Structure 1
């Protein structure tokens, strides 16, 4: 298996170099040295497509296509429903994935975008399988790499996989949203999970001039990779990087259950020039998430038409949109006027010429998180 694995790994690295995911010699050398299959010996789940809910079937080490799949540029699900691993299942399971091995092109692209130099200290949020931790350790040395994982079982498996390769970075089981103050200050922080709001602790634990690379997402399903520079005054700001990058949200940042719905027949109606179709556009939806950061979306049939509903789970405000003779109508109620807020922000975005994600910047201050262009 060793010769085949090395050949597959070299082919993958060649592909990632050709498509621009790997751009510099140090990261190419790291990718050539670290075997991805060494972090997937517990197997993974393959998606089973069908007419019903999404199902997942285990693929174990030694089975046909296991090794080849480890070296495809694909994300591989390694945990379902918070605790279930491939060895636990015979047949199929229909639950939500909770941990995965990210596709190698994204892992290497993010490491390139981190702009590290020898001697820098890096904190990784979300150890996962340990593959990206291994790449960082190979590049920077184990004394400069700290990685923190929320799930103790996931962390234990990563620790074992890294140790098999003779790699012993600092591995912590805990809440990555709190960072790891005992190792601060860091030159770089990189998150391999999505966040709803960038934690203040990450800014406090990054030295001025240092960078935070993280995926900023929301409860409407749009996310972007942001590279933030920490400033002397304790704020941070930086651009979005192209590519519509998506990670599973950190578990404490996942949306809460909607609970009992408000009376969606109440409220005031008016015509709106911005209809629910805007929520199908990735960048527009990303902007809506900044206008209404605690909003969740659902679609329902009501009075003979389809309504798109946004509910702010923090304030209780809501807005329902539907079409009537080609016109968009919004009905909203609650402490605030939710769709008015969305319209105002999208209106400014349209007036600026609908700038693309790479022209947007995220700004973090003690007052919160804002988006500018």
Structure 2
């Protein structure tokens, strides 16, 4: 730990004196919100100098919906950017660090138009929840897939001890930059450039595996590289960003594999090339022409009924929710269809050829008949066959098949 402190001090020399205070304030917020409960992880967060891992960050300067997007790259070493950059890096929000796969060493502060963000840090409360759920102990071997700027990997390395945490990053520029940054803080973690779907075979098996990218099903390499007694956690992604699912895979000491899928408030973005649905292009139409009103007896369960909404992500495919609407609003953008619930008056407005409200109502009936499950079991055949999800046994159980990796859009 002394080497880490020394590295951080040398990097932050000349920076604002409240950088340490900002770091501690982030930790205190996570703890007071009930997110951070593990004392060892609290210590790792307190020591981690995020500014070394994310010395520059992009912020959006144009309004939502405007094209091309106007970005500004903030440089934490520049006096004019320092305050805003520091507030962003220690806000706990996701931080955008790479545009169009650029070399991070060549980044130049200032305004730039267009482009796509290709690397970012994870929303810090989600990082904390994931690491705590992984139950990482000293001496565990840890594999981080889709490492990005390395925040999660650095924290995991602090828990495992040096030389036992490994990261895989698809982008060679990002991998090289993160490897250098981790070395500067003395994290004791390794990063390689490669396809995260292949895992990282040389030091396998791993006691803990975490994927920072969402996948449609569980890659066989990940399961094969999980050690007896190990835990693997990943987002199982559908085309809708509205209702993510988290899948926890455990391997018993006897080698038996068990996988449990459950919904939640957030998850990781899907792998590169995965096309997400968006309601953004239909919002103006929905506002001006919400649709034909009809009565409905269906009152959707609360947003915290994650089991229902997760089932809907699979059984009502191609639908995305507009969470900023006053009432429940769901859109099937590819069919130009939507449903807008009335304000508690037993009505809904329907537009387009697809009755997405009727589909949600049908799935809700099935979910109730299945006993309102909150978790689902994932069957992972040894022969690489389709992975099947079920809420249990019996004729009333809910079930569906997961898409294959080759079927990814």
Question: Which residues of 2 match residues 275-290 of structure 1 at below 5 A?
Answer: 283=306, 284-290=308-314
Gaps of 5+ in 2: 1-11, 278-293, 323-328, 341-346, 393-409
Quick one: distance in 1 between partners of 2:302 and 2:216?
A: 20
Quick one: distance in 1 between partners of 2:97 and 2:161?
A: 27
1:237 corresponding residue in structure 2:
259
Quick one: distance in 1 between partners of 2:40 and 2:124?
A: 16
2:240 corresponding residue in structure 1:
220
Contact 1:197 1:369 survives alignment (8 Å) = no
Deviations for 1:254-282, whole angstroms, at most 9, x for unmatched residues?
469xxxxxxxxxxxxxx99899x979968
Deviations for 1:183-214, whole angstroms, at most 9, x for unmatched residues?
21111111122222221211111123311111
Contact 1:320 1:331 survives alignment (8 Å) = yes
Whether 1:149 and 2:169 are equivalent positions in the alignment is yes
Q: 1:347 to 1:160 in 2, by over 3 A?
A: same
1:363 corresponding residue in structure 2:
378
1:263 corresponding residue in structure 2:
none
TM-score (norm 2): 0.69
Contact 1:319 1:339 survives alignment (8 Å) = no
Contact 1:272 1:330 survives alignment (8 Å) = no
Whether 1:45 and 2:65 are equivalent positions in the alignment is no
Question: Which shifted more, 362-371 or 118-127?
Answer: 362-371
Quick one: distance in 2 between partners of 1:162 and 1:322?
A: 48
3-state secondary structure, aligned to 2:213: strand
Quick one: distance in 2 between partners of 1:307 and 1:101?
A: 29
Gaps of 5+ in 1: 257-270, 300-305, 312-317, 333-337
Q: 1:33 to 1:371 in 2, by over 3 A?
A: farther
The alpha-carbon deviation at position 119 of structure 1 amounts to 1.3
TM-score (norm 1): 0.75
The alpha-carbon deviation at position 163 of structure 1 amounts to 0.9
Q: 1:185 to 1:296 in 2, by over 3 A?
A: same
3-state secondary structure, aligned to 1:183: coil
Q: CA RMSD in A?
A: 3.8
Q: 1:292 to 1:135 in 2, by over 3 A?
A: same
* Aligned residue among 18, 22, 29 for 2:36: 22
* Aligned residue among 2, 19, 22 for 1:8: 22
The alpha-carbon deviation at position 353 of structure 1 amounts to 5.9
* Aligned residue among 96, 99, 103 for 2:123: 103
Q: 1:343 to 1:84 in 2, by over 3 A?
A: farther
Contact 1:307 1:322 survives alignment (8 Å) = yes
The alpha-carbon deviation at position 362 of structure 1 amounts to 4.1
Hey, which of these two has a bigger chunk of strand by percent?
1
Aligned residues: 336
